[in-house]
Structure 1
Amino acid sequence: MRIGLVVDSACDLPKDFIERHNIEILPITVRIDDAAQVDYRDQAATLAYLDAHIAERGANAETVPFTVEQIRDLFLQKLVIDYDYVFCMTITRTRSPIFDNAQKASFAILNGYRAIRAAAGNNTPFALRVIDSQNLFSGQAILPVEAARLRDAGEEPGRIRTRLEELASNTYGYLIPRDLYYIRNRARTKGDRSVSLFSAALGTALDIKPVLRGYRGDTGPVAKIKGFEAAAQQLFEFAARRVADGLLTPTVALCYGGELDEMRALPGYAALRDACATHNIEVFESVMSLTGMVNVGKGAVVVGFAAEPHEFGKS
C-alpha cells in the first residue's frame, strides 16, 4: 500500500528530511504590509525574509493557511492518485484553523476521489486520516518522523494511525522567546490579551525569559528564568535528562529563529547532543518556519520530544 504523509509548513523539520521522505507541505502564506511570502520550508528564503521584514514588522503580519478548497484540490489533483492512504498531521487546532480546514476538506475528498482514481487506472479505495498533533513547531515534528519510520518499516495504516494518535497526546514542545514585547504585540494583533504590557515590560526590564510548554493543545509558561542563555541552558540540560530517562520515540527535534550556528553556540546544547548520541536518539535541527517566527519572534528556540508525563525541571 502506498502511504503518503502531509504536514503544514509550521512543522519544523529539515528540508532534506521532508524531500527524502516525499512529505507533502500544506503551505502557509505570510503577509507583512505589501510583501507576501509562501512558506514552503525553504531555509534560505526564510532567513532572507527574516532579515528583510520580520525583525521590524513581523508582529503585524498576517498568516494565511490553506483553505478547505485548496486542501481539497491538492488531494483530488495529486494525492488521491499518488497514494492509497494519506496521514495529514497538522499544527494544534487550538492555535490554527488548519486541522479544521483539513477535516472539512476530507469529506469532499472521500466523496470525490473515485472517478479521479479510476481515470488514473486505479479502482481501489482511498483513505485519509487527519491527525491533530496537539503541538507546534518542533513538537509537531515528532509525528511525521515516526510516521515515516513506521511506513518504511512496512507497518500497515491501522497501526500507524494508532501510534500517531497515542504520540500526539504525549508530545512536548518547549519554547523560549527572546523578546517579550514582540510576543505581547503579536498576541494583541491576533486578539490574544494573555500577555499584558506590564508583564512584558517587567520581564524585559529584569531579563526574565519564560519557558513555554506545548502539550495536548495547551500552551503556557512552566518556568521563568533570568537571562536567555541561562534559560536555554536549563532547557537543553532538562531535555538531556529526559533523553537519559527514556523517550517514547528515538527522536528529538530542535528549531531556532535564525541561523542554526547561533543555537549550537548556546550553553547546554553540547550536553543535549552528547546525551542523544549516547542513547541513540536522532536529532533533527531546522531553522524555525517563517510562520513560527512571525508568531514568536526572531531568536526563539524550541525543543520537541515525546515522553511520559513529567514536569519541567524535574527528572
Structure 2
Amino acid sequence: MRIGIVVDSACDLPLEYLERNNIVILPITVRIGEAVLADHRDEQATLSFLHAHVAERGHEAETTPFTVNQIRDLFLGRLVIDYDHVFCMTITKTRSPIHDNAMQASFAILNDYKPVRQAAGHNSPFALRVIDTQNLFAAQGITAVEAVRMRDAGASVQQIRVRLEELAQNTHGYMIPRDLYYLRNRARTKGDRSVGLLSAALGSALDIKPVLYGHAGNTEPVAKIKGFENAVEQMFKFTGNRVMAGLMTPTVCLSYGGELSEMRALPGYQRLRDICENNKVEVFESVMSLTGMVNVGKGAVVAAFAAPPAPFKAT
C-alpha cells in the first residue's frame, strides 16, 4: 500500500528531510502589510522575510492556512492518485483552523475521489486520516518523523494510526521566547489575553523568561527563569534528562527563530546533542516556520520529544 504523509508548514522539520521522504506540505500564507509569503519551509526565504519584515511589524501579520477547497483540490489533483492512504497531521486545532479545514475537506475528498483514481488506472479505494498533533512547531515534527519510520518499516495503516494518536497525546514541546513585548503585542493583535502588558513589562525589566509548555492542545507557562540564555540552558538540560530517562521515540526536534548557528552557540546545546548521540536519539534541527516566528517572535527556541508526562524542573 502506498502511504502518503501530509503536514502543514508550521511543522518544524528541515526541508531536505521533508523532500527526501516525500512529505507534502499544506502551506500557510503570511501577510505583513503589502509583503506576502506562502510558507513552503524554504529556510532562506523565511530568513529573508524575517530580516525584512518580522522584526519590525511581525506582530501585525495575518496568517492564512489552506482553505477547505484548497485542501480538497490538492488531494483530488494529486494525492488520491499518488497514494492509497494518507495521514494528514496538523497543528493543534486549539491554535489554528487548519485541522477543521482538513476535516471538512476530507468528506468531499472521500465522496469525489473515485472517478479521479479510476481515470488514473486505480480501482482500489482511497482512505484519509486527519490527525490533530495537539501541539505546535517543533513538537509537530515528532509524529511526522515516526510516521516516516513506520511507513519505511512496512507497518500497516492501522499500526501507524494507533501509534500516531498515542504519540500526539504524549508529545511535549517547550519554548523560550526572547522578546516578551513582541509576544504581548502579537497576542493582543490576535485577541489573546494570555500575555498581559504588566507581565511582559516586568519580565523584560527583570529579564525573566517564561518556559512555555505545549501538550494535549494546551499552551501554558510552567516556569520563570532569569536570563534568556540561562532559561534555554535549563530547557536543554531538562530535555537531555528526559532523553536519558527514555523517550517513546528516538527523536528530539529543535527549532529556532533565526539562523541555526545562533541556536548552536547557546549554552547547553552541545551537551544535549552529546546526550542524544550517546542514547541513539536522532536530533532534527530547523529554522522555525514563518508562521511560528510571526506568532512568538524572532529568536525563540523550541525543544520537543515524546515521553510519559513529567513536571518541568529547573536546577
Is TM > 0.5 for Structure 1 vs Structure 2?
Answer: yes
Report SS of the residue matched to 1:37.
strand
Give the corresponding residue for 1:47. 47
Give the corresponding residue for 2:175. 175
Unmatched 5+ stretches in structure 2 = none
The 5-angstrom pairing of residues 61-210 of structure 1 reads 61-210=61-210
Q: 1:256-299 CA distances to partner (integer Å, 9 max, x unpaired)?
A: 00000100000000110010000000000000000000000000
Give the corresponding residue for 1:236. 236
> How far apart, in 2, do the equivalents of 1:11 and 1:184 lie?
23
> How far apart, in 2, do the equivalents of 1:194 and 1:223 lie?
15
Q: 1:155-197 CA distances to partner (integer Å, 9 max, x unpaired)?
A: 0101000000000000000000000000000001101111111
Q: Which amino acid aligns with 2:133?
A: S
**Structure 1 stretches of 4+ moved >2 Å:** none
Report SS of the residue matched to 1:99.
helix
Report SS of the residue matched to 1:214.
strand
Report SS of the residue matched to 1:70.
helix
> How far apart, in 1, do the equivalents of 2:314 and 2:198 lie?
30
Q: Structure 1 vs Structure 2: percent identity of aligned residues?
A: 70
> How far apart, in 2, do the equivalents of 1:159 and 1:287 lie?
31
> How far apart, in 1, do the equivalents of 2:116 and 2:173 lie?
39
CA RMSD of aligned residues (A): 0.8
> How far apart, in 1, do the equivalents of 2:280 and 2:11 lie?
23
- Residue 272 of structure 2 is aligned to residue 262 of structure 1: no
The 5-angstrom pairing of residues 255-294 of structure 1 reads 255-294=255-294
Give the corresponding residue for 2:248. 248
CA contact (8 A) 2:234 2:314 kept: no
> How far apart, in 1, do the equivalents of 2:198 and 2:160 lie?
46
Q: CA deviation at 1:309?
A: 1.1
Report SS of the residue matched to 1:213.
strand
Q: Which amino acid aligns with 1:140?
A: Q
Q: Which amino acid aligns with 1:246?
A: G
Q: Which amino acid aligns with 2:98?
A: I
> How far apart, in 1, do the equivalents of 2:234 and 2:304 lie?
15
CA contact (8 A) 2:4 2:83 kept: yes
Unmatched 5+ stretches in structure 1 = none
Give the corresponding residue for 2:214. 214
* TM-score normalized with structure 1 length: 0.99
Report SS of the residue matched to 1:89.
strand
Report SS of the residue matched to 1:24.
strand
Report SS of the residue matched to 2:86.
strand
Give the corresponding residue for 2:18. 18
Length, aligned pairs only: 315
Q: CA deviation at 1:314?
A: 7.1
> How far apart, in 2, do the equivalents of 1:281 and 1:43 lie?
24
Q: CA deviation at 1:313?
A: 1.1
* TM-score normalized with structure 2 length: 0.99
Give the corresponding residue for 2:303. 303
Give the corresponding residue for 2:32. 32
Report SS of the residue matched to 1:18.
helix
Q: Which amino acid aligns with 1:132?
A: D
Q: Which amino acid aligns with 1:30?
A: V
